[in-house]
Amino acid sequence: MKTINKYKLIILGLVSLCILSCTDDFLELSDPTSINTTDFYKNEAQIKEAVNGAYGQLQNIFDNQYIFNELITDNTTVQITTQDRGQANRIESIDFWTYAPFHFNINVMFEDTYNNLLNINTILKRIEGTDIDENKKNQYKGEMLFLRAFHYYHLTQYFGDIFLILEPIEDIDSSFEITRTSSNEVYNQVISDLQDASNFLPRKSEYSSEDIGRVPKAAALTLLGKVYLTVGSSADAIPPLRTVVDDLGYSLLNNYSDIFDPSNKNHSESIFEIQYQGGNNLGVGSEFAYIFAPFDSGGVVTGFPAVRTFGWNQPTNSIINAYEDGDLRKDVSLQENYIDPEGQLQEVPYINKYMNEHSLPGVTDDNWPVIRYAEAILLLAEALNEQSPGSNEAIQLVNQVRARAGLDPLSGVSQANLKEAILKERRVELAFENHRWFDLKRFLSTQELVSFLNAHGQEELADPTIDRSGVPYNPDDYIIEPHELIFPIPESQLLLTDNITQNPGY
């Protein structure tokens, strides 16, 4: 009975209400504290605090999103060592496609996302009863509608049919009546939320300096275009994407490396990025450098030998070989080896784009890029190619991105070849930014994707990217079946009510 009562408090993250409290400065995120909703949402200051809190929750979600969007693909793999196998049933099982309904990381991702949705829905509900400036109210609504759409887009990609909840749930009994909603209906709601958000949100340039990092209009329009492409409506994707590319004032930076420089956050190419703040011990810094640095690399990569490194998200041979000769992005994005403290060459590749100087051990200042202008360009090229096969405009858009990378332009390619080129260009341009899994699902049919991944698995089994120190593969490693293209609903949720059903195959 105690176990069931515990789960009642966390069911879908919908019953217990926690609003994260932040200081007035948007970028200065504070620790979460619980707030009684009957005494809150009374004025603009409190609404702003609640909205900032919803942003603050994104850090927990993005800290681990690489697991579900990169590690599961042909882009990255985990460094296996005999000294550290504590994540075998968590990190490794995603890499090797052996996850099950009781998977810890999947459960945490599920609950963290629904907890954020709970707060978002509460803000959207309560803001209507406040007497604040209409323009500011619409801005906050637009921010929350974007985040809600963003989460539901991700959840549907991860789980298929999901729990579509658009109102705060404040009593336990009603939470047990929730059933799954078809992915088509969820996508319709996502599109509706993004359309509303794009109407409410200001341009990035219209935000004040203290509000840098908030969701702008371009974020809603770019994601809207991507969702249209996901559901096969390429014609509908073109107008919002064209607005972003042509009308909202974004531009590609001259140097690819400047995109990831912490001193250059929220630059002219940045549409939306998750805000982290290094240089302090407030718990709001990032630590991707330490997660992605090779295991036990002794501070050679991170600069701080006393802080442990994990090797949990390492570039594969596949993506290393995907770069064309002379691609200026390769060395920025990854390194193929390093010299250890004893002066020995270690053939362990690692992600380099988040390896930036920082002042405190274990605390980095890197933001996480979520939507960049380069992606909007490539999405528009993708949509145009679907509507006008081999479109010259689509080719020219791809060539804009290639030119910065120092590559020769494409010319005279067919629709099929251009589609393949766009997928490849997205892979190397957006490498290790959590796009690969959804790209593969959008560009390939179920059977094509299963065949593609299994072929990659056979390559890794035959010639592992990183030496495994004698640790053998398990018989089920690197074998994926169609049902595993969506994750299982966490087992903890199935214990709650007969209304919740498991995805087939698990």
| Closest CA relative to residue 276, chosen from 19, 6, 28 | 28
Q: Which residues pair with 270 in a beta bridge?
A: 372
CA-CA distances (angstroms) from residue 191 to 90, 176, 181, 211, 311? 33, 27, 15, 26, 37
At 41 the pLDDT is: 84
Output the tens digit of pLDDT for each of the chain's 506 residues. Answer: 222 222 222 233 333 333 333 333 444 444 444 455 566 788 899 999 999 999 999 999 999 999 999 999 999 999 998 877 767 678 999 999 999 999 999 999 999 999 999 999 999 999 998 889 999 999 999 999 999 999 999 999 999 999 999 998 877 777 777 889 999 999 999 999 999 999 999 999 999 999 999 999 999 999 999 999 999 999 999 999 999 999 999 999 999 999 999 999 999 999 999 999 999 999 999 999 999 999 999 999 999 999 999 999 999 999 999 999 999 999 999 999 999 999 999 999 999 999 999 999 999 999 999 999 999 999 999 999 999 987 899 999 999 999 999 999 999 899 999 999 999 999 999 999 999 999 999 999 999 999 999 999 999 999 999 999 899 999 999 999 999 999 999 998 888 878 888 999 99
Which run of H or E residues covers position 345?
strand 345-346
Report the alpha-carbon distance of residue 357 to residue 367 in Å, rounded. 13
At 65 the pLDDT is: 97
Delimit the CATH 1.25.40.390 region(s) of the chain.
Answer: 1-77+99-201+478-506, 233-275+369-443
Phi, psi of 466 (to 5 degrees): -125, 135
DSSP state at residue 15: S
At 28 the pLDDT is: 42
At 278 the pLDDT is: 95
Region of 488 on the Ramachandran plot (φ > 0 left; ψ -120 to 50 alpha; else beta):
beta
> Which DSSP string do the residues of 62-117 spell out, in sequence order?
HHSHHIIIIITTTSEE---BTTB-TTIIIIIHHHTT---TT-HHHHHHHHHHHHHH
Looking at 1.10.3720.10, 1.10.490.10, 1.25.40.390, 3.20.20.30, the CATH number of the domain 233-275+369-443 comes to: 1.25.40.390
At 500 the pLDDT is: 85
Domain 1-77+99-201+478-506 has CATH 3.30.1050.10: no
Name, in order, each residue with C-beta under 8 angstroms of 447's C-beta and a sequence gap of 6 or more.
482
Residue 206 CB-density burial (10 A; 0-12 exposed, 13-18 middle, 19+ buried)? exposed
DSSP state at residue 254: S
Q: At 388, list the tokens.
A: 């006008």
Report the alpha-carbon distance of residue 487 to residue 157 in Å, rounded. 9
How confident is the model over 155-195, as pLDDT tens digits? Answer: 999 999 999 999 988 777 777 778 899 999 999 999 999 99
Tokens 């295991």 appear where? Answer: 295
At 329 the pLDDT is: 98
Q: What is the CA radius of gyration of the chain?
A: 22
Q: Which residues pair with 54 in a beta bridge?
A: none
At 392 the pLDDT is: 94
Residues 440-447: contacts with CB under 8 Å, at least 24 apart: 440/73, 441/157, 441/485, 442/229, 442/230, 443/419, 446/482, 446/485, 447/482
At 39 the pLDDT is: 67
How confident is the model over 408-426, as pLDDT tens digits? Answer: 999 989 999 999 999 999 9
Which run of H or E residues covers position 368?
strand 368-372
